[in-house]
Amino acid sequence: MISRTNTTLSKQKSLFSKKYFTLALAPMAGYTNLPFRRLIRSLGGVDLTFTELVNARSLIENKKEALQLSSLSQDDMPCGIQLFGGVINEMIEAAKILESQGASLIDINMGCPAPKVLKGGGGSALLKEPFFAIQMAEALVKSVSIPITIKTRLGFDSEHIIAPMLAHAFQESGIQAITIHGRTREQGFSGTVNLEIIQQVVEAAPKIPIFGNGDITTVKNALIMKNKTGCSGLSIGRGALYNPWIFNQIKSSSAHSSPPSFEDRLQWMENHLKALIEYYGETSACCQFRKIAPFYTRRMGPSREVNRALSQCSSFAQYLEIIENYKGKRILFLDENGELKPTYYPQPVHSSLDFY
């Protein structure tokens, strides 16, 4: 149980005032768990976080995984608990449970493309049933007194772009903010993020903050998202894995501030793994870390070999050994000043926003 302190509530209120430019960590299943959210908060710059998506029915049934996914902590506030489901009464019941446990914000997932989520009528399946989606939003707003926000996409496919219409209806229903991923369900996580349609969403719901999402990986393309769409905040997912310092860099508009060093990145990686171990235990944490590590090593120079080793890592001791070994071999890629030789510079992370 978490207590809703006055500071958290007023901080949260200002995020939804439209006067404040909000930087949010986007929800990512398997990544934005409590230990990661706490850690990224410690770097500063993040105003708002979201849990990974939580199945409303599993929460009602008191399933351990749903309870763990919806756990909050005082040092990670405000944090929205993201719910998904295709049955309005279940969404209401789950929202009421969370409210009674001290949640201060609930986000409805209307964008997840995973077949498992669609099968139950949740996530982006709601984009095929816009009037039902609006009913769900209205019902949740009426059932609890904490703010409800929505995360959605442009539409199910390019033939059915409904986000501007939906955004207007959500605003009228009392939804407090919308995160819009500038892709359709059909596009999944690749292809171009459409800034023109995000701008239409901003214009269709002028009374509430709209957070632009998709492919924000640098300060430069954060500004492109902001300036081309007029959005009131940014939601950053994968960009925060490639570069956990991104929020601070955007806040200080310091595209040219010195990038984190190799040692900073290694320290961050180790801190992340340690935080996971403390929360989930060594075996589960090391297993989870196998898919997280490549996001970090990608920025360090040639990483195929270290990734291969990390993909089999099953203990912290083994992790330290792999990294020591990597440090020894990485010397081959460095110049006399200890910097990566230009041939080994990592390729910039691809972002469709770079083409705007």
Ligand X SMILES: Cc1cc2nc3c(=O)[nH]c(=O)nc-3n(C[C@H](O)[C@H](O)[C@H](O)COP(=O)(O)O)c2cc1C
Residues that bind ligand X (CB under 6 A): 26-31, 52-53, 82, 109, 111-112, 151, 181, 189, 213-216, 236-239
Within 8 A by CB and 6+ apart from 149, the residues are: 80, 105, 106, 107, 108, 175, 176, 177, 178, 179
Q: What is the nearest approach in angstroms of ligand X to the Cβ of residue 190?
A: 10
Q: What is the nearest approach in angstroms of ligand X to the Cβ of residue 68?
A: 14
Q: What is the nearest approach in angstroms of ligand X to the Cβ of residue 211?
A: 10
- The one catalytic residue in 79, 112, 231, 313 is 112
The residue (of 76 and 322) whose beta carbon lies closer to ligand X is 76
Position closest to ligand X via CB? 237
Q: How many CA atoms lie within 13 A of 350 on its CB side?
A: 6
Strand ranges in the chain using DSSP code E only, listed in sequence order = 22-25, 49-55, 79-84, 106-110, 148-153, 177-181, 210-213, 233-236
Q: How far is CA 344 from CA 40, 143, 191, 280, 286, in A?
A: 28, 55, 27, 35, 28
Sign of the Cα torsion 306, 309, 310, 316 reads negative
Q: What is the nearest approach in angstroms of ligand X to the Cβ of residue 3?
A: 26
The residue (of 164 and 237) whose beta carbon lies closer to ligand X is 237
User: What is d(CA 246, CA 249) in angstroms, rounded to the nearest whole number?
Assistant: 5
The residue (of 45 and 301) whose beta carbon lies closer to ligand X is 45
The residue (of 86 and 237) whose beta carbon lies closer to ligand X is 237
Q: What is the nearest approach in angstroms of ligand X to the Cβ of residue 137?
A: 15
For residue 148, what is the DSSP state?
Answer: E
Q: State the maximum Cα–Cα separation within the chain, in Å, rounded to a whole number.
A: 65
Q: 112 an active-site residue?
A: yes
User: What is d(CA 296, CA 275) in angstroms, rounded to the nearest whole number?
Assistant: 16
The residue (of 196 and 335) whose beta carbon lies closer to ligand X is 196
| Positions marked catalytic | 112
